[in-house]
């Protein structure tokens, strides 16, 4: 087992009627945490000869598009974990770290569930991959 992929998405408080979105991504790689800035580097998201860069970018965009956090003009962070299986099926969705605001936590979990099913895992990957996804609202 090679560890979890860790992804982080950030939504900034609205400065106009639209929500400004800034995104940073992180991937946990064999015991070390390496920050991946866009554009993604294929080498930074490799496991056993399989590149997850494109897959993780698609995953992040899909979850981000499904996320509708409550707009209360306070900073919040929640962390969700889940597993994606070979065919894109979702399981084991959990709240790993609460923001302390039930509506915010629920919006994070709903984004993951609403975004599923995901694309098939890349050819040659494990049967499933664990994901840890951070939702930030600033």
Question: What's the confidence (pLDDT) of residue 119?
Answer: 96
Domains in the chain and their CATH numbers? 5-137 (3.30.1150)
SS3 content of the chain, % helix, strand, coil (to 5): 25, 40, 40
Q: Are 74 and 80 in contact (CB under 8 A)?
A: no
Three-state secondary-structure class, residue 7: strand
36-63 average pLDDT score: 72
Cβ–Cβ < 8 Å for 90, 116: yes
Residue 37 pLDDT class (50, 70, 90 cuts): very low
101-120 confidence digits (pLDDT tens): 999 999 999 999 999 999 99
Q: Are 137 and 104 in contact (CB under 8 A)?
A: yes
**3-state SS, residue 16:** coil
The residues facing 95 across adjacent strands are 80
pLDDT at 136 (0 to 100): 86
pLDDT of residue 107: 94
Residue 46: is its pLDDT beyond 80? no
Q: Which residues of 19-44 are buried (b: 16+ CB within 10 A; e: fewer)?
A: eeeebebbbbbeeeeeebeeebeeeb
Position 106 scores a pLDDT of: 96
């Amino acid at each position: 087992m090679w560890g979890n992929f860790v992804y982080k998405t950030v939504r900034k408080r609205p400065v106009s009627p639209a929500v400004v979105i800034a995104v940073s991504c992180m991937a946990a790689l064999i015991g070390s945490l390496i920050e991946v800035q866009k554009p993604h580097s294929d080498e930074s998201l490799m496991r056993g000869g399989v590149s997850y860069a494109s897959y993780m970018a698609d995953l992040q965009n899909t979850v981000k598009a499904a996320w509708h956090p409550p707009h209360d003009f306070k900073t919040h962070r929640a962390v969700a974990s889940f597993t994606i299986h070979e065919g894109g099926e979702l399981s084991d969705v959990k709240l790993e770290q609460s923001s302390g605001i039930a509506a915010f936590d629920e919006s994070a979990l709903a984004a993951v569930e609403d975004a599923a099913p995901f694309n098939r895992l890349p050819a040659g990957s494990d049967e499933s991959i664990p994901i840890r996804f951070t939702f930030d609202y600033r």
